[in-house]
């Protein structure tokens, strides 16, 4: 039980679901309330699949393609920067901008929201380390922690979209640009950490 609690706390800290609510709300803002709740399930299941898959075979997959964790961090940072720039540009456009299709929103829930924004290189490296340290063929404690964190993420996303008040168009544009700025900083920080670790190695 102690190992499980420590794993949950560690994964929760690195994935930081509390900061993902506003970003998720911005991605699904054009959906109906029912579809927003369904999107929260989709995003949480995607994160669960990534974390559990990483616990079972993450190191094997990275080694198979010869990809290092720092290189994965840089790639993830670039992807987040791209998304941030799109959010900042859309936030500054007029009301005639076209709304994304449901399929585009669903795609955004997987990439970049689930990976690399939530289950990113840091989370993957952490869960691989946890799984290896268990010393078991099937790291049950690590998998249980991944499932628990994914459930917590689902709760946070559901509460966020349910409690979010309807903002006027101007407030929505300001919020979108602000979240884009935050994501831009996150993407650059992730990429710079990756470069630092890459050259240090």
Domain with 94, as residue range(s), is 2-200
Mean pLDDT across the chain:
84
Whether the pLDDT of residue 94 is over 50: the answer is no
Using a 10 angstrom Cβ sphere, with 0-12 exposed, 13-18 middle and 19 or more buried, the burial of residue 50 is buried
What pLDDT, on the 0 to 100 scale, is given for residue 168? 59
What pLDDT, on the 0 to 100 scale, is given for residue 98? 63
Whether the pLDDT of residue 22 is over 70: the answer is yes
Report pLDDT digits (tens) over 144-184.
999 999 999 999 999 988 875 555 566 667 767 777 787 78
Neighbours of 67 (CB within 10 A): 13
Structure-block tokens of residue 154: 């689902």
Report pLDDT digits (tens) over 100-128.
889 999 999 999 899 988 998 878 888 98
What pLDDT, on the 0 to 100 scale, is given for residue 103? 92
Q: Worst-scoring range by mean pLDDT, 48-52, 72-76, 84-88, 166-170?
A: 166-170
Number of folded domains in the chain?
1
- Phi, psi at 28, each rounded to 5°: -100, 15
Report pLDDT digits (tens) over 74-85.
887 787 788 778
Closest CA to 51 of 147, 134, 153, 186: 147
Query: What does pTM read for this prediction?
Result: 0.75
Label residue 32 by pLDDT band (50, 70, 90): very high
């Amino acid at each position: 039980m102690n190992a499980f609690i420590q794993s949950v706390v560690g994964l929760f800290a690195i994935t930081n679901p509390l900061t993902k609510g506003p970003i998720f709300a911005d991605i699904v803002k054009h959906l109906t309330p029912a579809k927003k709740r369904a999107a929260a399930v989709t995003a949480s299941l995607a994160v669960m699949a990534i974390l559990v898959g990483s616990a079972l075979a993450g190191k094997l997959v990275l080694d198979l393609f010869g990809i290092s964790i720092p290189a994965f961090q840089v790639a993830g940072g670039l992807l987040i920067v791209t998304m941030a720039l799109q959010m900042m540009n859309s936030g500054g456009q007029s009301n005639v901008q076209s709304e994304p299709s449901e399929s585009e929103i669903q795609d955004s829930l997987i990439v970049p929201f689930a990976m690399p924004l939530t289950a990113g290189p840091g989370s993957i490296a952490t869960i691989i380390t946890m799984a290896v340290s268990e010393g078991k063929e099937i790291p049950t404690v690590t998998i249980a922690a991944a499932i628990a964190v994914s459930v917590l993420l689902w709760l946070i996303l559901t509460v966020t979209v349910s409690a979010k008040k309807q903002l006027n168009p101007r407030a929505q544009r300001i919020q979108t640009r602000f979240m884009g700025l935050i994501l831009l900083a996150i993407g650059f920080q992730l990429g710079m950490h990756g470069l630092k670790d890459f050259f240090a190695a």
